[in-house]
Amino acid sequence: MKIEIWWTGKTFQDFVAKGYLEFLKRIQKFNAVDIVEFPDVKNQQQAEIIKKLEAEKILNKLKQDDYLILLDEKGKSFTSTEFAAFIQKKENQSIKKIVFLIGGAYGFDEKIYARANDKISLSSMTFSHQLIRLIFMEQLYRVYTIIHHFPYHNE
């Protein structure tokens, strides 16, 4: 199963970029993962318009059979072990590609919510859309270490 992680805007915090690239390298030993970065919406100030324009770019790139999972504070919460079981279940269902979508600074447009197959929450706290990139990559690496019984996650 292929995994893609999509987000809007460049990662401008160097420590975040270094961190997620390190976890990406580690994840690649277990599974193919790609990052897709959409350019920021330029020359626009209104949050609703920004979300709409971001949604158009995202929806144009999504394929019909892509399984879209939003990283959203209103989504399902998992422990790391439960998240690993969730990913394993998706692999067992022969889903070809999962797209994890990290929203921009203003979140998601309603069209994105309508298209989503699932929503997951990494915390009930709010994190910057920059920092969540690193946090999610670490959790995805943890998932694969749990699935493959690699010594990283401790219960």
Residue 56 is assigned to a structural domain of this protein? yes
Q: How confident is the model at residue 54 (pLDDT cuts 50, 70, 90)?
A: very high
The identity of residue 118, as a single letter, is D
What is the Cβ-side half-sphere exposure of residue 127, based on CA atoms within 13 angstroms?
A: 18
Which residue in this structure is represented by tokens 């309508």? 114
Query: Do 42 and 103 touch, CB atoms closer than 8 A?
Result: no
Residue 118 is assigned to a structural domain of this protein? yes
Q: How confident is the model at residue 61 (pLDDT cuts 50, 70, 90)?
A: very high
Residue 40 is assigned to a structural domain of this protein? yes
Residue 152 is assigned to a structural domain of this protein? no
Inform me whether the pLDDT recorded for 155 exceeds 90.
no
Sequence-distant (≥ 6) Cβ neighbours of residue 51 within 8 angstroms: 104, 106, 107, 108, 109
Residue range 44-49: mean pLDDT, rounded: 89
Coil, strand or helix: which one is 78?
coil
Structural domain range at position 99: 2-147
Distance of alpha carbon 65 from its chain centroid, rounded?
17
pLDDT of the residue at 41: 87
| Total number of domains in the chain | 1
More confident residue, 9 or 50: 50
pLDDT > 70 fraction of the chain, expressed in percent and rounded: 100
Residue 30 is assigned to a structural domain of this protein? yes
Q: Is 8 exposed, middle or buried (0-12, 13-18, 19+ CB in 10 A)?
A: buried
Looking up residue 61, the CATH number of its domain turns out to be 3.40.1280.10
The separation between the first and the last C-alpha atoms of the chain, rounded to the nearest angstrom, is 26
DSSP sequence for 112-143: HHHH-SEEEES-SS---TTHHHHHHHHHHHHH
Which DSSP letter does residue 104 get?
B
More confident residue, 99 or 74: 99
